[in-house]
Amino acid sequence: MLAACGSSQSQFTLELSSVDRSLTAYITPDPPHIPVNDFFELRIELVDGSGRPIMPGQVSLAVDAVMPTHHHGMMHEPTLTIDGNGWHVQDMLLHMPGLWVLSVDAEHPDGSRTRMQRNLEIE
């Protein structure tokens, strides 16, 4: 399991920022402790560099996770749906323990993309 780091969003929220910190994703997993090899869901909210919320209509999101030392990613492509001022992600599955890199890619209307990512050590 992975216990998510605390943040202003909730006790169990992960924070992923882009390199230039122009975007930050706050990710709340359900269940709160990300399990090994069991499906889980995510709630994602985005803010810009000034902390202003980014609404789902402003960008489109893609979520992925890979194990860099194993040279493979998830076995499933997560399903994203818009949920109010954020996104609901289903079918996340980190099927092996170890180091994963979770990424959230935001595609802007002009076609440019911003990646937010962080390492997750899953046991």
| Tokens 């001022």 belong to residue | 85
37 binds another protein (CB under 8 A): yes
Query: Among residues 36 and 101, whose Cβ is nearest to another protein?
Result: 36
* Cis-peptide, bond into residue 56, ω within 30° of zero: no
121 binds another protein (CB under 8 A): no
Euclidean distance between CA atoms 68 and 4, whole angstroms: 20
Query: Among residues 32 and 98, whose Cβ is nearest to another protein?
Result: 98
* Cis-peptide, bond into residue 31, ω within 30° of zero: yes
15 binds another protein (CB under 8 A): no
Residues that bind another protein (CB under 8 A): 36-37, 39, 69-79, 90-91, 95-98, 123
